[in-house]
A = this chain, B = another copy of it.
């Protein structure tokens, strides 16, 4: 147990230079002579020196870390995003702090603290519903130019956002079903107040209008993106008097839960009913039947968000444009959709 971690002073001693030189060797290697640089790095190797993050952070007023705000860490939808965000940020020397933004116990205050006490240099929020308190902390901490949304976003908060082209995705889904002859289409929506739920539902309704389809109010089923919500919705669906022949679900998880429960209730997909999801999570391709869905490039979204943030952090924190990147989505036709019954 090495209880005397070497400090910059020890390195300087071994290298026969000043502490300032050692520090420079670490942060501005180009400002040193080839010779002294070598001396320093040799000494670093000999002593096994590592720069103390706390000291460096205190001095530079930077943290070398960014905060990733995830709504419900238990949702596997985020794993691919988490992974690619982590990859890019790690490659750029940033650590990633993960916070569950909607966890019951986790007060928004904890997030706010994290921003205000200088633990992070920036924020990527996968949660569009940023609390007032978090938002205030963001501006108070001067991090307003160092935060962005990924996947979700907010109409009220002016931050850059990297997200999928949801509208096009929904249109693709509806067109797909219409192309198969479906005229009566239901929608299983996400949670009230969620921006993705909102845009997917409203675009769905618009698309139906465009295709001259009427949508009965009871065909809009409330959900929350989860498997269980899909299953519960199925129970309401099968009891519908004038049952639609197709369902567009706002998430793959709901679609899978929906299909599973429909099956136990005696409805076969796609024979009796066509179902389209949204996301193209990994399991979608291996479901039975394979789930027709709208593919989001989750890894790409995470990567782009991380890259955009890194770029912003590099630049001057002056007035930057608030940019929106809409990542393309694609329709993946599998076997949960089929011709409408006559």
Q: Which residue numbers of A lie inside 8 Å of B, CB to CB? A: 1-3, 5, 48, 50-55, 57-58, 61, 63, 65, 68, 72-76, 78-80, 82-83, 86-87, 90-91, 95-100, 103, 105-106, 110, 113-114, 116-119, 139-142, 144, 227, 230-231, 256-257, 259-260, 263, 282-283, 285-290, 299
Contact = CB atoms under 8 A, between A and B. Distances in A.
Copies in the complex: 2
Contacts of A231: 286
Question: Could you say which of A1, A50, A263 has the most chain B C-beta atoms within 10 Å of its C-beta?
Answer: A50
B58 A86 contact: no
A65 B288 CA distance: 43
Contacts of A97: 65, 95-98
A82 B91 contact: no
Contact of A74 (B79, B139, B227): B79
Given A90-B103, A97-B97, A256-B286, A117 B51 contact: yes
Nearest to A63: B54
Nearest to A115: B50
Contacts of A299: 74
A80 B74 contact: yes
A96 B95 contact: no
| 7 interchain residue pairs of minimum CB distance | A76-B76, A54-B57, A73-B83, A260-B286, A54-B58, A74-B83, A50-B116
Contact of A90 (B53, B105, B256): B105
Given A52-B58, A53-B63, A74-B82, 5 more contacts: A2-B141, A83-B103, A97-B98, A260-B285, A283-B283
Given A5-B116, A51-B117, A87 B58 contact: no
Nearest to A104: B87
Nearest to A50: B116
Nearest to A139: B1
B140 A114 contact: no
A95 B69 CA distance: 12
A240 to B, nearest CB: 21
Given A91-B105, A286-B257, A142 B50 contact: no
Contacts of A106: 87, 90
B256 A140 contact: no
Contact of A288 (B96, B99, B288): B288
A263 B290 CA distance: 11
